[in-house]
Chains A and B, each alone.
Chain A
Amino acid sequence: MTDNLTLAAPVLQMTGIAKSFANTYAVRGVDFSAAAGEVHALMGENGAGKSTLMKILAGAFHDYTGEIRLHGRAVQLHSPAHAKAAGIEMIYQELSLVPQVSIAENMLAGRLPVKRGFLLDRAAMVAETRHWLEKVGLDCDPLLRVDGLSPHEAQRVEIAKALSNRPSILVMDEPTSSLSRREVEILFRLIRELKAQGLAVIYISHHLPEVFAVSDRCTVLRDGQRIVSRPIHEFTAVSLVELMVGRSVTESAIPREHEPGEVRLRVRQLTRKGFFHRLNFEVRAGEVLGIGGLAGAGRSEFARSLCGIDPVDDGEVDLDGKAYPGGDLCDAIRAGFAYLTEDRKSEGLALFNTALQNAGDAVIAGRRTLLPAAAAREGFARLAVELELLPPEPQRQAVQFSGGNQQKVLLAKWLATNPEVCILDEPTRGVDVGAKRVIHEAIARLADRGKCVILLSSDLPELVALSDRVIIMRKGRFVGEQRRGVFTEDSILLAANAEDGVS
């Protein structure tokens, strides 16, 4: 069946595409095609050129070279308007809807139906919106405000909005990053329907299982060049990763040198009303405690309160037998806590400061005076080597690093405080395979040095590979605990989803 697809006439044919930024090629000589009724996965590490290629398709650049043919006809996609008119629609990770406005107005913005010249034709607006919402299987009032929708409903609205422009190519960039497993399946069902209706879908994701589940064909980019383009069933997870990384990867489970020791961190009855309730747990020296659960289970909220970023209503925390009196994040850092945020770009790094500055930002909280410049540089150089930062330039702005290396700088910022309790919230979200390995090894080393690590992650393989113990959180409560050797991705997922079936 997939073989037939490759024979079908391509809707999109990109040949010899190249685009450079300041003398370095982001993509060069890339051939890429997409056929009607096919889901084409575009894979590659961060910086491989995926987003540049798709931005070219979206008309973001006017200075690319190479040829783009749509339905066999050569086109110039030199502005977003050109791309839209040519039938190309993009769905990004971050939704582009205006939350305070109704679904209908969001969808039909710019072409709202009018009657008698200037009056808003509400009936026509509702009818048209409903028509497109039905296409994505969403049965809700078109006059509902978008901020009243759950993330996955909002995403369907986004898709409906894209469909209402009657595209022939739909590009989805990491569409599942904010969705739970169940919502991902609903999305996949929709993608398959769209495919059956003859749409060409280009799917970008870092999640291998998703790619295998939903795509027909897969193209791998590396260093701006196309490495391979084949039907998905000719790949295995291992071969796909190897092609992306360009070297063979060892299996992801990280070995640990020591067994966990004495209990170091005790948390009793930690509560923030409306967010999480009566959480009790202990973490031992050298233990990685994983916290699993679906999006919205309250993991980040709990972690932020534990570190004094958000308030706590009740509960006791003690570290090494010493009661921790609470306070703000600054106090928590002095007490040995570290919190690596899940939102690198707006909460983690000052993107326009240098890597050196960023890496020193958290150290300052614990000190009365500045670290001498030489000591700061030395510490940075050590961490840069440990985390294989590329390039290891202290004076480079954070924004000039790739996503994976930005994440390494963020990790370095907290490692520099030499924390006793390290809370890592999605430490590898959106980073490439190479950076992920480095970060995982650094986490294992932390544990081997006797630190407590609390790992919050929606990435189940990561949770399974790193944790000594996993606590499952649901609706602000701990609902289960599983030890290493017992838990699997499936068992964690089942526990996280339990009683959450039909709502």
Chain B
Amino acid sequence: MSAPLASSRQLKISFTKRLLNALGIWCVLVGLVMAGLLAFPKFGQADNLLNILRNVTLLGIVAIGASFVTYGRHYIDLSIPPLMACVGLVTISAQPLGIGPSLLLGLTAGLAIGLLNGWAVGYLRLNPIIWTLAVSFFLDGFLRWAYAGHQVYPDADTTTGRFFLDLPQRTLPGGIPVGTALMLVLALAGHWLMTLTRFGRQLQLTGIAYDVAALSGVRVRRVVLLTFVLSAFTTSLAGLLLSALNRQGTFDTGQGYDFNAITAVVLGGVLLQGGRGNVLGVLGGVLLIGVLINLMTLLGIGSFGQMVVKGLIFMAVVGLTAWLTRRSGRSDE
């Protein structure tokens, strides 16, 4: 019979194609690293490379969760920055209760905001951009008001405070920082969740064709809600680490993480049109941003210039993918 033969060949072609798609961003990354090695002797030194990794760790953790929202075709949770601030403030404020309760309270606060966003977007079908923008504005104002614009500091004299402040400095055997290890573990877990589980499969369908998903028995509202909770979860973890790194909690912790995260997600091949891409690609996108920033610093481009470049890259990637998908016939209203 010829049909199974033909189908297995098709499968192989598509497998290599998929592999290439998934690895595309990694190829770019390797190319950029090679260029960096040739241009700057300092670039390839172990401490510089470790530094790059350390610098993108928090962004990576945020982007891994955020990519689920994008994959489900709801773009991005714009309340990421105040969410990170909120988690930091709550955790540090609750430290008199002990390390366990304070971390738990901080994470709970973050997840509650994720739940609120997921409910509004998933169940009430509100526009994700407008809704999370409103939540972002509200939360930012609320935190400034509640803390009267002040910072809170962990008390380094208590064991709780010391444990908290030491968190980002801890390393695993082999010298890998705890945060980086967390990012890698989350990336693998996220990749598994997105590509190999029932939830991931249902999310893919929801992202690429919402009505079809709803009429295939997918509980679309719950699926959408979960993406916002996942995004809030990794964002909260990043918020904790960032506050510990800054040795303080303030209302503007996390500024810029919303835009950087969506840039990394899109650069990593998760289309804004939903249902395309994967978490390992996003990890590649994150590392690419890290390498780019590092190279720009070595080239002497200041932080303002770097913002301009990041903005340009985002515009180029979004424009290019939109153009390519339209050309390939995948309509995008």
Contact = CB atoms under 8 A, between A and B. Distances in A.
A350 B208 contact: yes
Given A329-B217, A393-B6, A347 B211 contact: yes
Interface in A353-368: 353-354, 357, 360-362, 364-368
A413 B209 CA distance: 15
A395 B202 contact: no
B208 to A, nearest CB: 5
A395 B11 contact: yes
Interface of B: 3-4, 6-7, 10-11, 13-14, 196-198, 201-202, 204-205, 208-209, 211-219, 275, 329-330
B216 A362 contact: yes
Interface in A305-364: 309, 328-330, 332-333, 339, 341, 346-354, 357, 360-362, 364
A385 interface: yes
A397 to B, nearest CB: 9
B215 A350 contact: no
A394 interface: yes
| Interface class of chain B by DSSP | helix
B7 A394 contact: yes
Interface residues of A, number: 40
Contacts of B209: 349-353
Contacts of B219: 328, 330
Contacts of A341: 215
A115 to B, nearest CB: 37
A333 B3 contact: no
17 contacts: A330-B218, A330-B219, A350-B213, A352-B330, A353-B205, A354-B14, A362-B216, A364-B202, A365-B216, A367-B198, A370-B196, A370-B198, A370-B201, A377-B11, A384-B3, A391-B6, A395-B11
B267 to A, nearest CB: 22
A73 to B, nearest CB: 35
A381 B217 contact: no
Nearest to B200: A370
A394 B215 contact: no
A370 B197 contact: yes
A145 interface: no
Contacts of A328: 217, 219
A392 interface: yes
Contacts of B208: 350, 352-353
B3 A385 contact: yes
Nearest to A389: B3
A197 interface: no
Nearest to B196: A370
Nearest to A417: B217
A329 B202 CA distance: 14
A348 B215 contact: yes
Given A347-B211, A350-B209, A394-B11, A365 B3 contact: no
A369 interface: yes
A396 interface: yes
A385 B216 CA distance: 23
Interface string A445-459: 000000000000000
Given A353-B208, A395-B10, A395-B14, A413 B216 contact: yes
Nearest to B10: A395
B72 to A, nearest CB: 13
Contact of B217 (A330, A346, A370, A385): A330
B10 A369 contact: no
Contacts of B205: 350, 353, 357, 361
Contact of B7 (A347, A361, A367, A381): A381
Given A385-B3, A395-B14, A347 B212 contact: yes
Contacts of A399: 329
B217 A393 contact: no
A392 B215 contact: no
Nearest to A394: B7
Contacts of A347: 211-212, 214-215
Contacts of B330: 352
A352 B325 CA distance: 11
Contacts of A396: 10
A365 B216 CA distance: 7
B185 to A, nearest CB: 22
Contacts of A364: 198, 201-202, 216-218
Nearest to B197: A370
Nearest to B14: A395
Nearest to B2: A392
Contacts of A365: 216-218
Contacts of B7: 377, 381, 392-395
A341 B202 CA distance: 19
Nearest to A341: B215
Nearest to B330: A352
A330 B214 CA distance: 9
A348 B11 contact: no
